[in-house]
Amino acid sequence: MKFGFYLTEGSKRQVVELPEFAQEAERLGYDAIYTPEGLPGGMEPMMQMAAVAAKTKKIKIGFSAVIVPYRQPWLLAREIVTLDHLSNGRVLLGMGAGWRPPEFENLGLRYDRRGAMFDEQLEILKTLLTEGDVVYEGRFYKINRLVTKLEPCVQRPYPPFVITGGPGMGSGQRTVMWPGTKPQNPDAAIKRTAKYGDAFNPVARTDDDVRIFTDCYHRIRQLATEHGRTLPEKFMTISILEVNINPDPEEAMADAASCDSRWVIEREGRKIFRSQGDPTQEERVKYGAVGTPEMLAGKINTLLSIPGVERFIIVFHANNFFRQLELFHKEVVPRLKCQNESPA
């Protein structure tokens, strides 16, 4: 089983610590390091991961996720090619449609068209990254060949397309939605993965994750076959958030709670979380993994029964990321059913 890590800190602290954290995770043999994207808060993800790539040799460079509609397709393709070369073929390309309407408004984009824009971009990206050029005219994008063809990626034909979203984003009591918006349609990410994706990345967030994600797995495989595609046996990446490990569960709760206002750094973002109220202790346990090493190991062991799981993304919500990594490595991994398998 493969494990990667995502740090919930959208500030300059993450930029400073992320390369060093990635080096330590690489030293311990873990699979990947991830970064998110959000505007205006946080730092630019491609530049962050270029810094990580320069400081590491083996650990994969992951996104959870690049918000595809924010970019023009050929510019995004160029960024992907560049980072894949800088990392010598280590990119895991997590991609999403986005969920914050003001970000779309500030970019002059229609929030209600983001899914259709995402789908067009996926079609364009596949051609651009495979052939280096494209002629395309769709509803949102028109490209009449590039002046200079793109270089091919190190990974052939291109880095894995990891589609984020799905039931974990639209189910459960701790779902975060922008006021006035509708819940995300879980079927959209499932259908998108089947048609375009190489992997599917939902979030573990409900009491019924095993049943829901097992159904997702079989539906994606069936739909992919209908599109004439064959996915590998293992293509599921499960995110677990929020994670704070401590032998003393009360200390874990206190540490996680102290990070809340810093995690949601945008003014409007704070309003959303405060409108729902910060997670209660019961919710942190039920929908996240705040507590003892045994608790997190139990959650992972339960999720291991989902078919097709290739990776877990552990989303640390803590003040000391390095201490969390140490506890995960020493106290959680030995308790896992997959402990005899390499974490990378």
Q: Which pLDDT belongs to residue 276?
A: 53
Write the burial class of residue 307 (CB in 10 Å: 0-12 exposed, 13-18 middle, 19+ buried): middle
For residue 313, the SS3 value is strand
In a domain, 340, yes or no: no
Could you tell me the pTM of the whole model? 0.91
Closest CA to 126 of 148, 158, 150, 152: 158
**Which pLDDT band holds residue 181 (cuts at 50, 70, 90)?**
low
Task: Tell me the residue range of the domain where 185 lies.
Answer: 2-335
In a domain, 83, yes or no: yes
Element (H or E) spanning 32, and its range?
strand 32-35
In a domain, 341, yes or no: no
pLDDT in tens, 256-280: 988 875 544 444 444 544 445 566 7
Distance CA 57, CA 37 (A): 23
In a domain, 120, yes or no: yes
In a domain, 59, yes or no: yes
pLDDT in tens, 46-59: 999 999 999 999 99
pLDDT in tens, 50-91: 999 999 999 999 999 999 999 999 999 999 999 999 999 999
Q: Which two tokens stand for residue 303?
A: 């999720």
Number of domains in the chain: 1
Indicate the residue type of 254.
A
In a domain, 184, yes or no: yes
Q: Which pLDDT belongs to residue 100?
A: 85
In a domain, 344, yes or no: no
In a domain, 342, yes or no: no
Give the CATH number of the domain where residue 131 resides.
3.20.20.30
